[in-house]
Chain A
Amino acid sequence: MKKIASLLLIFSVFAAEAQNNFKVPAYEKFKLKNGMTVYLMEQHEVPLIYVSAVFDAGSIQDGDRYGLASMTADALLFGTKKYTKEQIEEATDYVGANLNSGAGKESARVSMSFATKDADKMFDVLQDVLVNPTFDATEFDKYKQRSLLQLTQQKESPRAVIGNYFNKMVFDQHPYASPTDGTTSTIDKITAEDVRSFYKTYYTTDHAAIAIVGDFKTADMKKRITALLNGWKTAEGRMIKRVVPDLAFDKSRVLLVNKGDARETTFLIGGKGVDYINPDYVPIMVVNTILGGRFTSWLNDALRVNSGLTYGAGSRFSRYKMGGTFYISTFTKNSTTVPAIDMALQVLDSLHRTGLNDEILASAKAYVKGDFPPNYESAGALAGLLTDMFTYGFDENYINTFQTKVDGLTVAKAKDIIAKYFPKDKLQFVLVGKADEIRDSVKKYGTITEKEIKDEGF
């Protein structure tokens, strides 16, 4: 592959549809009697229906029981009043449907896709999964064993875990620091009874939304979904007052995670970012495109194209509801760790010192407008978009003004954006690699702390 299509070069785009100003397709939004928000959007290109349901039940609700939200979301599929886990899987597999559940930091999500002709059966399964999960203890215990092993195995891949170390380091005591998948000692203690209780507390209809996108008639679907979920009574959702994470760092810090057999150093360098609906996000994204959001970005150009130090380098803003992070990410062989970090820092520094010019800005604007790898081309992506609107509190205006915001960005304004939003110093470093080979030379970047990758947690 020319590029890894993964965390390195991807940045989230509110896709602008080429020359045409991208608009969110028409949809209907209403509330059920129980407070649940419903979004319906017709898309008839293929005979499929996509469903996405979200609940205020993400890992920020974990407290010190890391992994509780994630285990609860996963366990929704372990059987219901009407169907055993096996029956759910047999029914969905038979018609080629996909049914998934999971939790992120902000919310838990159940998503499903199936053929229009299978709607009756699949909506029946979905309803029971949402309303009547039984959290079967036998299935839960097997799942727990698998999860414990997977947590250990995750640590075999630096790329899979480096983000958890970074979040723990920068968010510290804030709930965003909680590793969504948990740690071995925390999930070992969580029982089927715990997830049942978590479900009762946080899967409440007044803090939930469901989006259905695909091949149906809105009026019919409105009737169907109302019949299906109107009668669902849950507890009242809790309003939890949360504080905004404090990401004002007073010094540079280095977390060195030792992986004894590492052949390369994987690293993130970053600091404070922005919250999900920051009004300047579009210009921030255009500037980040130049810094580290595309193949010809300055980071990739310096670290990959000019020097051959790495296969890929990039930067991104990772956004949550109440705050976010910015980080540069790349990897290089053990012996070139310091040259690669130095070069990444130089590139970031030149963004602040030298800034942008008209030519590069024009190129980045064209790129972000044209580059819509099919973010919103498929019905599934649109269902995700609608439930994200609910979770993060934005509406289609945020997307419909995308092109105007891109076009309105000038070099002068970009300068302000850079000064305001792109970290410059007091950077936070996470390095996963062979500590013995790099320890002495990376001390210069900040106060150093060391961890063993095989130790529990992050």
Chain B
Amino acid sequence: MRKTILGLALWLVGFATLAQNSPDDVKTFTLPNGMKFLVLEDHSIPTANMYFFWKVGARNEVHGITGLSHFFEHMMFNGAKKYGPKQFDRVMEANGGSNNAYTTENVTVYTDWFQKDALETMFQLEADRIADLSIDSTMVQSERGVVLSERSTGLENSNYRTISELVKGVAFQEHPYMFPVIGFESDIKSWTQEDLENYFKTYYSPNNATVVVVGDITLAQVKKLADQYMAPIPARGLPPKVRTVEPEQNGERRVTTYKDITTPNILLAYHTPETSHEDYYALDLLNNLLTSGNSSRLTKALVMDTTLASQVFSFMGDGFDPNLFYIYGVAGNGVSAQELEKAIEAQIDDLIQNEVSDRELQKVKNQKLMEFYRTIETINGKANSLGTYEVFFGDYRKLYDAPKLYEKVTPADVKRVAAKYFTERNRTVGYLLPDKTN
């Protein structure tokens, strides 16, 4: 599952006023069934893309059906009424298009990239599976194998995957952010036909989707095709709200597991507010202060100046609900998990005790601007950013406020959010330790 990439997209879009596009270039309309469209014409290359953001992810799951959002991301390619099994991909690729999809704790996103003349084909394909997905039991069985393999290969090749699933499960005691997006192995093996049918009906209603179309197309074309293919799909009720609220953590939690690895891996997680919260900008800059570039605080202190860690990274999880800020480190040779943890916490303490200099803060503001430019060089970067902002901040237009919100962040703000969220009581610490029993 993607994690950091999505986080990246959030602040990148914040600088759109500084690029060529302005909010007025993005046209929107909403069909009577509630499906919302954002359209940005960009005629620089003769292609376009269409991104479907569905507001369904692991946070909508419960025990027994964990991983179902992600499973749907797969099942949506396995046949509908007009285009049977395999046909979605075959028709798309034969038309010079390609696609992918990703699922997170909050959303499921489908991405189609195509030559501009294939726009109608894209609408036909998408409308068919949204209106009439078939959930064929043979396909379900085979796709379970695919997802079990996806889960297994993640755990085989990524130590981060192993430790992060455990830490989430401890940091969240009540809220469904505790679930791994891919799901628990036993759930993947045993969800039922009825579970699948209910989930589709509940979450794949047109009013639960935001569609972003960017590229060498026109608003009129998109509107006409949306009316023709998407408008007839009946709306159902909106999905139920996620009711569970994670209570404040009032004491450090620790969790340990083992694997046949070389040196300890550690993961620190702090509860932070939902993405639309006003502290988002200061926390996001703080993230850059910690691990963006070799001159960043943790990278410099732990990886460059010393050999305490062989790598370190941090990121803030996106969320409709309050999620976690993660700091991950892989210990250097002969360095214990405790020593590495202390070294990370010393850097955190420094941010709590002392204000960052104006210059250092300006550095991370500059970094954000540059990363934004690199993203909007491509139409995919534009589409993903617009959609992400629309769903996480509730209105793509709010992204045009972001520059001044980042600019407004002061050294005192960074100190304040560090002190507020990076407390011992609000912390979960995970250790992945070398298993010497093998």
Interface residues of A (CB under 8 A from B): 1-5, 17-20, 45-48, 85-86, 89-90, 92-97, 113-115, 142, 145-146, 148-150, 152-153, 156-160, 260-264, 266, 294-296, 301, 304-311, 331-333, 362-363, 366-367, 369-374, 377-380
Contacts and interface: CB of A to CB of B under 8 A. Distances in A.
Contacts of A308: 141-146, 149
B25 to A, nearest CB: 15
A323 B219 CA distance: 49
Nearest to A91: B295
B184 to A, nearest CB: 16
B129 interface: no
B113 A156 contact: no
B294 A93 contact: yes
A371 B98 contact: yes
Nearest to A6: B157
A36 to B, nearest CB: 27
A195 to B, nearest CB: 18
A204 B73 CA distance: 51
Interface stretch (B39-47, B59-67, B344-352, B408-416): B39-47
Contacts of B330: 153
Contact of B307 (A94, A146, A295): A146
A96 B146 contact: no
Interface residues of B, number: 85
A233 B303 CA distance: 35
Interface of B: 1-2, 19-20, 44-47, 73-74, 77, 86, 89-90, 93-103, 113-118, 141-150, 152-153, 155-159, 259-263, 292-296, 300, 303-304, 306-307, 310, 330, 332-333, 359, 362-363, 366-371, 373-374, 376-380, 435, 438
Nearest to A92: B293
B368 A18 contact: no
Contacts of B45: 17-18, 377
B367 A261 contact: no
A371 B293 CA distance: 33
Contacts of A374: 377-380
A149 B333 contact: yes
Contacts of A369: 96
Given A146-B332, A295-B93, A372-B47, A309 B145 contact: yes
A331 B262 contact: no
Contacts of B377: 45-46, 48, 374, 377-379
A264 B156 contact: yes
Given A93-B295, A331-B149, A374-B378, A3 B367 contact: no
B295 A45 contact: no
A3 B144 contact: no
Given A1-B100, A96-B369, A113-B374, A150 B261 contact: no
A149 B262 contact: yes
B307 to A, nearest CB: 5
Contact of B262 (A153, A160, A294): A153
Given A48-B373, A146-B307, A146-B332, A153 B149 contact: no
Given A93-B295, A305-B142, A378-B378, A156 B98 contact: no
Given A17-B47, A377-B377, 18 more contacts: A3-B100, A18-B46, A20-B46, A45-B20, A89-B294, A93-B292, A95-B366, A115-B373, A261-B435, A296-B86, A308-B143, A311-B153, A331-B156, A369-B96, A370-B47, A371-B113, A373-B380, A378-B377
